[in-house]
Structure 1
Amino acid sequence: MKENSAYIPIFNELSCCVIIPTYNNQKTLKRVLDGVLEYTENLLVINDGSTDKTSSILANYPQIHTIHFKENRGKGNALKKGFQEAGKLGFKYVITLDSDGQHYPKDLPKFIEELQQPHEKPLLIIGARQMDSPGVPQGNSFGNVFSSWWVYIETGYNLKDTQCGFRLYPLEIVNKIKLFTPKFEFEIEIMVKSAWRGVELKNIPIDVLYDPQERVTHFRPVIDITRITLLNIWFVFVSFFFVKPARKLKEIRQKGGKRFWREDILKIQERPFQKAKAVALGIFIGISPFWGLQSLIVFFAAEYFKLNKVLAFFASNVSIPPMIPFLLYFSYQFGAIILGNEPDASLNIENIESAFDILMGVKQYLIGSFALAAVSAIVLGALFFLIFSLFSKKNPTDA
C-alpha cells in the first residue's frame, strides 16, 4: 500500500484522474475501486443507470466523485460525461478502465510512466492485452485483429490492441472533438479522430482477467460488431477522401509543388527494391481477375504495404483494353497447364455441352489468371529492380 501511495502525488502533479464507467457490475466494482484508490484519489465513477447494488456500493465511498444516470445510456455517453466533468475539475489527462474486473489497477503506473516520457506529440495510450492468454474468448481475439486492421487503414498506426478500454487520454484535445457514438464504438471513434488531430496512438502491455464467475459483459456481438463495422467503413471513406487529401495539400504548401511531386508522388529517394515491389504489386493486381476494381484494390494495397502508389497504379494498367484479349488467352492456357488439361488455342463453343463445362472453363481461367499474375509480378518486378538499380547508380539520391 505504501509503495502504491507514492503515485498519489504524481497523479496530482500530472493533473491526471481515473474514470470508471459502470453498469451492473456489483460483483467486481468494489475490488476495482479499492485497487484504484491505492494509487490515486482522483477518481470519477459514472453509474450508467445500474439496477443492481452499484448505488449502494458507491455510497460507501464519499471521497469518490460520482455521477448517476437514471437510465442506461451506453458506455460512450458515460465516458463523454466523465471527460466533460474531469475537464471542469481541471484535469489534463484521464485514465479509463472497466469495472468488470478484467483490468488490473496495478497496471496504472505503466500509463503514468509512459506519460512521463518525452513525446513529440500528444499521447493516447491503449492497453495491449495478451490475446492468446488462457481464458480470453476467441471472438475477442478475432475482433481485435479485425479492428486493428481498420484502424491501421484509417490512421496509419499499426496497433496490437485497439479495443481495450484501459486507456490514457489527453483531455484537453479529446474534449474539443465532436463525438457522436453512444456505445462501445465510441472508443474507436475517439481514437481515430484523435489520431487525425495529430495525437500519437501507442500500445503498452497490460494484464487481463476474464473470470466467467464474476465478469458481466454488456457487449452484444452481433449488434455492436455491426455498429463498429459501419463506423469503420465511414472512417475509411472520410480518411481517404477528406483527411489524407487535406494533409497532402498542407504538405504541398509547405514543400512546394515540385519538391512534393519528386519526394511524395514519384518518391525519387526510394530504394530500387521498394520501387520494384510497387511495380510487382501493380502487375499482380492488374492481371488478376478483379475486373473493374483493380484501381481501387491497388490503391488500398499500396497504402497498406506503404508502397509507391503512382508506380503501383501505372503498373496495374497492364490490363488496359488492348491487352485484355491477350491476358484472357494466356490466363486460360496457364490454367490448362496447371490443371493438366490439353491447351486449346481458343475456346471452342461446340465443346460446351452443359453448365458444368462453363464452370470448368471459368475455373481454369481463374486459376490461370492468378498464376499468370504471380509469375508476371515476379519476373517484371525483378526486371524493374535491375532497371531502378542502374538509374540509382547514375543518380545517388535514389540510393
Structure 2
Amino acid sequence: MNPPATCVCIPTYEERESLPRTLDGVLRAVPDAHVLVIDDNSPDGTGELADRLAAEDPRVHVLHRPGKAGLGPAYIAGFRWALAQGFDVVAQMDADGSHRPEDLPRLLAGLARADAVLGSRWVPGGAVADWPRSRELLSRGANRYVRAALRLPVGDATGGFRAFRRHTLERLDLDAVQSQGYCFQIDMARQVWSRGLRLVEVPILFVNREFGASKMSSRIIREALVRVTAWSLSSRRPAPAVRPASTGGERLVHRVAA
C-alpha cells in the first residue's frame, strides 16, 4: 500500500490530559492525514495512552523514546520516521492545545507555493489568546532579535506550528541540528532560508494551554540566545527581501540573488 501524503508529528512529555483532544481535532481537520506521537517516556502515562489511541485508529502511530531529551531531538526523530515511511508532507504541532487543528488545512495549503510553511502569531491576521503579557513580550523580543541577528525575514521564527515538503527536509542537514528547546524552530527556519527554499508565513491564532505546565525555562532561553548570537557571528548573507502575498496576512519570503 502507498502511504498517505501527510504525517503530523506531535512530541509529548506529560500531555496525557490534552493529547486525546488534540488527536481528535487533527484527524477531524485533516481526515487523510496520519499522526505520529513522539513520547519521551512521560511519567504521567502519556505514552501508554497514545498506544491505546493508536490501537483504536490506524492513522495514529507512536514513537517511544527512552527519556526527556528536548524538543529538537524529538522532532528530528519524528521527521526521520516520517521520511522513512514515505510521507510526502510532514507537519509539526504542539500537543497542548496551543495550536488549533482547524488552522492545519491552511498551513498544508500553503505548501502549494512554498517549500515550508510557518504558522505565525506575529504577521497581520495572527494573534495570541489568553497569554500572559510577559510571554508575549518575550516572544516578540526574541523574534526581533532573530530578525536583526540572522537577517532572517520572518515574523515568527520561534513558532512550532509548521509544515514541510518531503524534499525540504531531505535537503536539510538534520544531523547538524543540535538545538534542544524552542531554538530548534529558529534552527530549522534558518536552514530552510539559507538553502534558498521558499518560506510562507500563514497567520494563526495561538491559544494558551488549558492543561499541564509550560516547558519554557531559563535554560531554554539561554540556549536560544547563545546559539543565535553564534550563528550571527559566523554567517554572511545578502540582505533578504520579503514580498507580501495577496491574501489574509500570508507572507511569502524569498531570497535575493547574491
TM-score band, normalised by the shorter chain? Answer: 0.7 to 0.9
Secondary structure at 1:193 match in 2 = helix
State the 1:162 CA deviation: 1.9
Cα distance change of structure 1 residues 147 and 199 upon mapping to structure 2, 3 Å threshold: farther
- Structure 1 position 219 matched with structure 2 position 216: yes
Contact 2:150 2:232 (C-alpha < 8 Å) held by counterparts: no
Q: Which letter maps to 1:67?
A: L
Alpha-carbon distance, 1:157 to partner: 4.1
Query: What is the match of residue 201 of structure 1?
Result: 199
Inter-partner Cα distance in structure 1 for 2:22 and 2:35: 11
Whole-Å separation in 1 of the counterparts to 2:166 and 2:41:
24
1:230 to 226, 245, 254: 226
TM-aligned CA deviation for residue 164 of structure 1: 1.4
State how far apart, in whole Å, the 1-side matches of 2:8 and 2:101 are: 10
In the alignment, does 2:20 pair up with 1:30? yes
What is the CA deviation profile of residues 106-133 of structure 1, one whole-angstrom value per residue up to 9, with x for unaligned ones?
11111122112xx3xx522111126764
- Contact kept, 8 Å, 1:163 with 1:188, in 2: the verdict is yes
Letter of the 1:166 counterpart: F
Aligned to 1:57: 49
Q: Which runs of 4+ in 1 moved over 6 A?
A: none
Which runs of no fewer than 5 residues in structure 1 stay unpaired? 1-10, 249-399
The whole-number CA distance in structure 1 between the counterparts of 2:149 and 2:89 is 24
Distance 1:171 1:151, change over 3 A: farther
- Matched residue SS, 1:86: helix
Higher relative contact order (CA 8 A, sep 6+): 2
Partner of 2:183: 185
Q: Partner of 2:206: helix, strand, or coil?
A: coil
CA contact (8 A) 1:148 1:158 kept: no
Q: Tell me, what secondary structure is at the counterpart of 1:43?
A: strand
Gapped runs of 5+ residues in structure 2? 240-258
Q: Relative to 1, partners in 2 of residues 1:72 and 1:141: Cα closer, same or farther, differing over 3 Å?
A: same
Separation (CA, whole Å) in 1 of partners of 2:38 and 2:104: 19
Aligned-partner residue type, residue 95 of structure 1: A
1:135 and 2:130 correspond = yes
1:42 corresponding residue in structure 2: 34
**CA radius of gyration, larger in:** 1
Percentage of identical aligned residues: 25
Counterparts of 2:39 and 2:17, CA distance in 1? 15
How far 1:142 sits from its partner (Å)?
1.9
8 Å CA contact 2:127–2:205 kept in 1: the answer is: no
Structure 2 counterpart SS, 1:57: helix
| Equivalenced residues, count | 225
C-alpha distance in 1, partners of 2:12/2:66?
A: 13
State yes or no: 1:171 paired with 2:155. Answer: no
The CA deviation at 1:239 is: 1.7
> Structure 1's 132 and 101: CA in aligned 2 closer, same or farther, altered over 3 A?
closer
Say which SS state the counterpart of residue 233 (structure 2) adopts: helix
Q: Deviations over 1:309-346 (max 9, x none)?
A: xxxxxxxxxxxxxxxxxxxxxxxxxxxxxxxxxxxxxx
Separation in 1 of the partners of 2:163 and 2:156? 14
More helix by share: 1
Q: Distance in 1 between matches of 2:166 and 2:132?
A: 32
Structure 1 CA distance for aligned equivalents of residues 43 and 71 of structure 2: 15
2:109 to 105, 110, 113: 113
> 1:156 Cα shift?
3.9
TM-score of the pair, normalised by structure 1: 0.52
Determine if contact 1:16/1:42 at 8 Å carries over to the other structure. Answer: yes
Please provide the CA RMSD for this pair. 2.3
* Within-5 A mapping of 1:1-399: 12=4, 15-38=5-28, 39=30, 40-60=32-52, 61-62=54-55, 63=58, 64-116=60-112, 119=113, 122-129=114-121, 133-153=128-148, 156-175=151-170, 176-177=172-173, 178-211=176-209, 213-220=210-217, 222-240=218-236, 244=237
Aligned equivalents of 2:109, 2:168: Cα separation in 1: 20
Q: Is the 8 A contact 1:157 1:201 kept in 2?
A: no
Deviations 1:344-393 (A, max 9, x none): xxxxxxxxxxxxxxxxxxxxxxxxxxxxxxxxxxxxxxxxxxxxxxxxxx
Distance 1:161 1:192 in 2: 12
* Contact 1:21 1:75 survives alignment (8 Å): yes
Which has the larger strand fraction? 2
CA contact (8 A) 1:129 1:208 kept: yes
